[in-house]
Amino acid sequence: MHEWQIENCINIGKVYNHAATALSWPDSYPLRGRKSGADARFTPTGHEGKGRISHAHEHRKNVSRREQIRPPRRSQCHAGRYRWVRSLTLPRMDKRHFYYWIGPTIVGGLMVAMYFSGIPWMQSFAAPEINREFGAVENLQHLIIFAIIVVAIRGVYRKTLKWERIAFAVVAVASLTLLLEELDYGLHYMEYFSGEKYEGGPRNIHNFILNPYGLDFDKVMSPVVYCVLGLGFCILPILVLTRKLTHPWLRYLTPEPHSMGTIVGMVAVAQVAFFLDKIDMHSNHALRINITEFGEGFIHYIFFIYLVELVYKRKTPDLKSG
């Protein structure tokens, strides 16, 4: 190798050494296929000895001058060499934030914005004036309930304890019943295709039971649902985080703390919808007496994501744990 080539390699090595010192890189710079260690380290003071320069000379004998002065490719370097690049970027956000509260809040807020936009096609997409059951607000709830049924059935097959499998089977049957109730057992589809409106009384079982007593299902069930959400998805996670609850089964059944973000998103979206409906914002009045539908979607979703955690991401504790 010519003398100017050796000098060039030494100068480049010194530049790398100063950069590594300034950016807190490790002092070794191994080549591809070589082990990192004392025999692969760069010697900044010269090319003699076992430093990287001596190995680099043999490696670059038959390489062009442009290749000699080009820095090594990333694939030739240890992955840790580029730690400084990651340190200059924003920290990676926990993806659970997205699918627990950011995503649902964005979708819920988008539905509210479309319903109160005053733009006919957006309002028809969210809740058509002809029948709100054909809109995205209702059908998103139906999809979530269907997903709950699928996850509950998967729980029956994945879990090993008998009582836990029975519990998931009950959840699947109850969710199927809820889905049929939400769909009015297909009655509104029959009305749409036949062109005749059903006038035979209550359209589903819960209205058939409560209507003779002058009770509204939403008003009866809302306090119960909100108490369950407050206790199970807000208070219990806080107790687990503060280590007030240490029993393995309680920790297993307690929802993720991120669920509190879903509750906050639900309250925010529902209150915005109530406010816009109160001031009579531009809408087609398809959800005039059912403005709570914007919050019900969150309720279904939070139970869906809770079941996903139980079935796919948590290991059942020992039955004798305690």
pLDDT tens string 231-245 = 999 998 998 888 877
Q: pLDDT (tens digit, 9 = 90+) per residue, 89-114?
A: 445 667 888 889 999 999 999 999 99
> What pLDDT was estimated at residue 264?
93
> What pLDDT was estimated at residue 212?
63
Identity at 153, one-letter amino acid code:
I
Whether 147 and 304 have beta carbons less than 8 Å apart is answered as yes
Rounded Cα distance between 112 and 281, Å, is: 11
Rounded Cα distance between 169 and 115, Å, is: 36
Rounded Cα distance between 61 and 42, Å, is: 18
Mean pLDDT, residues 52-56 taken together: 47
Mean pLDDT, residues 47-52 taken together: 44
Which candidate, 185, 108, 154, 82, places its Cα nearest to that of 307?
A: 154
| Most confident residue range from 71-75, 242-246, 272-276, 315-319 | 272-276
Whether 23 and 87 have beta carbons less than 8 Å apart is answered as no
Identity at 302, one-letter amino acid code:
I
Rounded Cα distance between 82 and 67, Å, is: 21
- Mean predicted lDDT score pLDDT of the chain: 75
Which candidate, 51, 70, 50, places its Cα nearest to that of 60?
A: 70
* Distance set, CA 154 to CA 100, 159, 201, 309 (Å): 21, 9, 37, 12
Which candidate, 273, 271, 259, places its Cα nearest to that of 110?
A: 273
Mean pLDDT, residues 109-123 taken together: 92
Burial level of 203, CB count in 10 A (0-12/13-18/19+)?
middle
Q: pLDDT (tens digit, 9 = 90+) per residue, 59-68?
A: 455 555 545 5
Rounded Cα distance between 200 and 82, Å, is: 71
Rounded Cα distance between 290 and 215, Å, is: 15
> What pLDDT was estimated at residue 112?
93
Alpha helix ranges (H) inside 255-292: 259-278
pLDDT at 267 over 90: yes
Provide long-range contacts, Cβ within 8 A and 24+ apart, for 24-29: 24/84, 25/81, 25/83, 25/84, 26/78, 26/80, 26/81, 28/78, 29/72, 29/77, 29/78, 29/81
- What does pTM read for this prediction? 0.68
pLDDT at 132 over 90: no
Which candidate, 191, 188, 184, 179, places its Cα nearest to that of 208?
A: 184
Which tokens in the block code for residue 314?
């948590």
Please state which of the ranges 111-125, 142-156, 241-255 shows the lowest mean pLDDT: 241-255
In the block, residue with structure tokens 């019943």: 177
pLDDT at 252 over 80: yes
Whether 55 and 40 have beta carbons less than 8 Å apart is answered as yes
321 confidence band (pLDDT: 50, 70, 90) = low
Q: pLDDT (tens digit, 9 = 90+) per residue, 157-207?
A: 999 889 999 999 999 999 999 998 888 877 878 777 777 776 666 666 766
Rounded Cα distance between 64 and 5, Å, is: 11
Is the alpha carbon torsion for 194, 195, 196, 201 positive or negative?
positive
> What pLDDT was estimated at residue 299?
93
285: three-class secondary structure by DSSP? coil
